[in-house]
Chains A and B, each alone.
Chain A
């Protein structure tokens, strides 16, 4: 049968394009517009070219925030990924306790971000918080509002509490898909516990683990709400991560031009990292299917 060529069908995509344009492309273009202009309000724009970008690329403030951000994401991944795998390996495989564990693990994921922040903000307070109070009782000098290290520890512990479940649940799903025969074969082959993990569990988890790392990287790299509620970026600038700095710049100081240039670079970094992950993941799939 002859195939009918009818390019008019493309018009059917039009409504989607319109919606995407209004919801994504236009706002993004507004940011681009701000990044290459200077404005004093009243919709008056003066062409600035790449000036804001140059300013941002050479700004110490941005470098410091970026440094803090990378350190934060690195610490988060270094703790949450191994811990998540460890928890997944030790969760019961079936029965009532498996369900109980799943529900308990899912709980932190269901709490709104600002609520998580508030919980930890109060929990850590030395005067009324359970954690802060007992740490003080034990003679530990802990105060997240004064001490940068304490602030970092609090923010990191909070994030680990909030998000390790995600890694654990994804790994658990990966582990559940391993047929029993693999474990049996390993026992017959007299494999050690480490070998079972290295050659059976880890390869089978690799796919979901990569997704977990990607999600945790992106989320932690964009983190805003929780540290903002707990520390507000302080003490000083010690927990001012990229998003917090960006909001300070755009809303606090009303430096829309630099903030827009900053946003675009921020967006591109995340896009780049996601692309790298995507490429690695699809290659992994291809190898699997070969």
Chain B
């Protein structure tokens, strides 16, 4: 097990990249703590899988180094790195039995037969496939096959890290939850470094201690689920995390006040002068409908999603969503929306601006 360090890492699928837009992965420096459970979150095509394949050595980066602990493994083969990886679609060795599939990585490392047997039984119990151990893997259902893939990923105890590339895509919803819980438990038990790629925020937030949000080949934020929720570092994080995402409104920031469409909104802190496109961001959870306080809102639609209701409306031409608690009447008298001042984040050119006075 080891801490994983990425130094000046960048990758382009072109042989001669011309400019930044040719890079699938923009230059980055990150340290992934030993034993951490990370989720790599982002929309399709943002470079998540590229980053994962670079860590596992399936892909050689165009520039930069990858370190496992103090050891530079940039040029090391995948096999040498002793890493486990589970892919999006099930990869099983069809002609082998389930047992042979699970023991394959151990046998390749020349482990002792007695150990292999007990370890395979342990893993089989975990993925719930004990009764199928002596069946051929060919012809099993997709989710059974994926469970075998997961099992094969977890069977080695001495791996440096276990990487998951959207492993639960083909699994039934109820099984998804169960497997995720088991992964979490496995992490607590053995303390492997785990990196879990997903585009599903629920999956990311329930699995990981730290969520790494990627956007357009860049890591835009690395933080706890709480950080991502309360202080998104980039408008993409605000939009991507949360359901619905953060409301963003163009505004002019002067000191502790935001001005938009002739109205002024108090902010929780004072800001210095900034350039570029300036916006305020507020979570729907921190917006309240009022009878006259705040900005005028035109309500378009009310969606009842069970625990609460989502009110979709327009404020000065921009869409604003408000989450109203269950049971609160939404009547024609509610014509304004008020934002909780200290929950408002300020963005300049999509990046969060820290308020004056240090509180980040």
Contact = CB atoms under 8 A, between A and B. Distances in A.
Interface stretch (B104-112, B205-213, B346-354): B104-112
Contacts of B139: 287-290
Interface in A189-224: 189-192, 195, 199-200, 203
Given A199-B93, A200-B93, A188 B108 contact: no
A199 B89 contact: no
Interface in A134-185: 179, 181-182, 184-185
Contacts of A288: 138-139
Contact of B108 (A184, A189, A200): A189
Nearest to A286: B139
B155 to A, nearest CB: 9
B118 interface: no
Contact of B95 (A182, A188, A191, A203): A203
Query: Which of the four size classes fits the interface of chain A?
Result: 10 to 19
Nearest to A290: B139
Nearest to A191: B108
Given A182-B91, A203-B95, A187 B108 contact: no
Interface in B4-51: none
B93 to A, nearest CB: 4
Interface residues of B, number: 27
A179 B87 CA distance: 12
A182 B104 CA distance: 14
B192 interface: no
Contacts of B87: 181, 184-185
Contacts of B109: 190
B104 A191 contact: yes
Which among A189, A195, A203 has the greatest number of chain B C-beta atoms within 10 A? A189
A187 B84 contact: no
A182 B94 CA distance: 11
Interface string B62-87: 00000000000000011100111101
B283 interface: no
Contacts, number: 60
Contacts of B152: 185, 189
Contacts of A290: 138-139
Interface in B239-289: none
Which among A181, A185, A289 has the greatest number of chain B C-beta atoms within 10 A? A185
B113 interface: no
Contacts of A187: 57-58, 77-79
Contacts of A195: 104, 108
B96 A199 contact: yes
B145 to A, nearest CB: 12
A187 B89 CA distance: 16
A239 to B, nearest CB: 40
A290 B88 CA distance: 22
B91 A181 contact: yes
Contacts of A188: 56, 58, 78-79, 83-85, 105
Contacts of B95: 199, 203
Contacts of B96: 199
Contacts of B78: 184, 187-188
A51 B153 CA distance: 69
Interface string A250-274: 0000000000000000000000000
Nearest to A195: B108
Nearest to B81: A188
A287 B140 CA distance: 11
Contacts of A182: 91
Nearest to A184: B58
A190 B58 contact: no
Interface of A: 179, 181-182, 184-185, 187-192, 195, 199-200, 203, 287-290
28 contacts: A181-B87, A181-B88, A184-B58, A184-B85, A184-B87, A184-B91, A185-B85, A185-B149, A187-B58, A187-B78, A187-B79, A188-B56, A188-B58, A188-B78, A188-B84, A188-B85, A188-B105, A189-B108, A195-B108, A199-B93, A199-B95, A199-B96, A199-B104, A200-B93, A203-B93, A203-B94, A287-B138, A288-B139
Given A188-B56, A188-B85, A288-B138, 4 more contacts: A179-B89, A188-B79, A189-B108, A195-B108
Q: Which A-B residue pairs are the 9 nearest by beta carbons?
A: A290-B139, A187-B78, A185-B91, A190-B79, A190-B108, A189-B105, A199-B93, A188-B85, A203-B95
